């Protein structure tokens, strides 16, 4: 295709991508480099149903004048990125200096909100993603082995966790693991410990969210693998059978290599999705035990004062995180592509 035609061909989607993806990211980056103006404070008398008090408030006229002069806010450079709520360079250096053991350093690091969220986010990503791949493949192979008549209904039921809205799915599970819920009560009876609570202990909360994540995403891997299974060449499988390969060997040496590109695709999607884990934390009200990068962005933007600069900095760090995570997979795909072309 001539370059000119190609350009016209992708122009609509390119425009949309620039408008709705590139420009917002640029605006977030700019926002993350700025902080609010200095607020001019004055003390005034406030009166209400409960009497009068002397309280501080923002002198609006003076603050407005500052804002007019610099509509973007004060330029802060990377200051927001380095403060305690993000990379916390000063606090990390201090913790490194004053800690005697690695354990102590780790404890102090986990006391900083960004690293605490990063730890959960990475743990979630690297535990849920492989489990989703393995489970998805297992379900796909299982369903593929079923008689044709039963496949339709089985596929429908296997897809249900993905169809259910994430928030609803996590809420349902949240109620089930309540001390009075069907899972919570059963576990308490099983372990003979009336105080066992999946919501109280951070470790159990993490495990619960991991289980939820696998439950929610496995159908995606399953349906992709199942589609791939329909294209496995019959001749190769028959040849393997004639060579005396058992079922496991056929899966290991024929099916899995054939499905490898799909596995890469699912890994890519899952890494991206899982790194942005958010809904289960809200659904399980787990913020006491588990926070993710997306959750701290959400928390910055809620409440009486919206903290855009801080949220923007965390967003940029999240984008960088996704880029770093995806880099190895993308490099590999790029090499494969070049090799095939050569």
Note the residues at the interface with other proteins (CB under 8 A). 35-39, 41, 43-51, 53, 55-58, 60, 63-64, 74, 76, 80, 83-85, 91, 111, 113, 178-179, 194-195, 197, 199-200, 202, 284-289, 299, 301-307, 309-310
> CB of 318: closest distance to other proteins in angstroms?
18
> Of 39 and 154, which has the nearer Cβ to other proteins?
39
**Sign of the four-CA dihedral 237, 238, 243, 248:** positive
Q: How far is the CB of 31 from other proteins (least distance, A)?
A: 11
Q: Nearest to residue 330, comparing CAs of 276, 273, 269?
A: 269
Print burial letters for 295-325: b (CB count within 10 Å at least 16), e (below 16): bbbbbbeeeeeebbbbbbbbbbbbeebbeeb
Residue closer to other proteins by CB (options 161, 309) is 309
Least Cβ distance, residue 299 to other proteins (angstroms): 7
Q: How far apart are the first and last CA of the chain?
A: 19
* Spatial distance between the Cα atoms of 301 and 336, rounded to a whole number of angstroms: 42
Q: Helix, strand, coil: what percent of the chain each, to 5? A: 70, 5, 25
Provide the minimum distance between the beta carbon of 202 and other proteins in the complex, in angstroms, as a whole number: 7
To the nearest whole angstrom, how small is the minimum distance from the Cβ of residue 284 to other proteins? Answer: 8
Q: Among residues 40 and 141, whose Cβ is nearest to other proteins?
A: 40
Helix (H) or strand (E) holding 318: helix 308-341
Query: Smaller CB distance to other proteins: residue 55 or 100?
Result: 55
Kindly state the smallest distance separating residue 17's Cβ from other proteins, in Å.
Answer: 26
Q: Is the CB of 83 or the CB of 273 nearer to other proteins?
A: 83
Q: Which of 98, 199, 111 is nearest to 188 (CA)?
A: 199
Provide CB contacts within 8 A for 265, sequence distance 6+.
224
Between 169 and 228, whose beta carbon lies closer to other proteins?
Answer: 169
| CB-based contacts of 280, cutoff 8 Å, min separation 6 | 166, 170, 209, 212, 213, 216, 286
- Closest approach of Cβ 320 to other proteins, in Å? 20
| Residue with Cβ nearer other proteins (1 or 47) | 47
């Amino acid at each position: 295709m001539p370059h000119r035609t190609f350009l016209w061909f992708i122009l609509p989607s390119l425009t949309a991508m620039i408008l709705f993806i590139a420009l917002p990211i640029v605006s977030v980056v700019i926002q993350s480099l700025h902080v609010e103006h200095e607020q001019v404070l004055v003390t005034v008398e406030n009166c209400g149903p409960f009497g009068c008090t002397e309280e501080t408030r923002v002198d609006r006229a003076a603050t407005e004048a500052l804002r007019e002069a610099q509509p973007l806010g004060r330029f802060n450079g990377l200051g927001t990125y380095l403060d305690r709520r993000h990379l916390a360079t000063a606090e990390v250096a201090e913790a490194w200096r004053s800690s005697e053991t690695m354990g102590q350093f780790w404890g102090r690091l986990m006391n900083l909100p960004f690293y605490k969220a990063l730890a959960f986010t990475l743990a979630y990503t690297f535990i849920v993603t492989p489990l989703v791949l393995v489970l998805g493949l297992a379900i796909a192979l299982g369903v593929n082995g079923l008689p044709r008549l039963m496949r339709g209904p089985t596929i429908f039921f296997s897809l249900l966790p993905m169809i259910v809205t994430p928030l609803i799915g996590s809420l349902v599970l949240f109620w089930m693991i309540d001390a009075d819920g069907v899972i919570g009560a059963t576990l308490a009876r099983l372990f003979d410990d009336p105080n066992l609570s999946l919501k109280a202990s951070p470790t159990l909360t993490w495990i619960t969210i991991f289980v939820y994540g696998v439950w929610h995403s496995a159908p995606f891997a399953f349906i992709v693998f199942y589609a791939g299974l329909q294209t496995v060449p019959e001749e190769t499988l028959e040849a393997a059978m004639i060579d005396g390969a058992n079922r496991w060997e056929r899966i290991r040496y024929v099916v899995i290599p054939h499905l490898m590109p799909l596995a890469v695709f699912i890994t890519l999607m899952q890494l991206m999705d899982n790194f942005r884990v958010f809904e289960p934390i809200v659904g399980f009200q787990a913020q006491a035990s588990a926070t993710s990068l997306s959750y701290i962005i959400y928390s910055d933007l809620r409440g009486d004062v919206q903290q855009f600069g801080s949220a923007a900095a965390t967003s940029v760090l999240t984008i960088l995180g996704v880029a770093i995570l995806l880099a190895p997979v993308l490099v590999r795909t790029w090499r494969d592509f070049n090799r095939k072309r050569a």
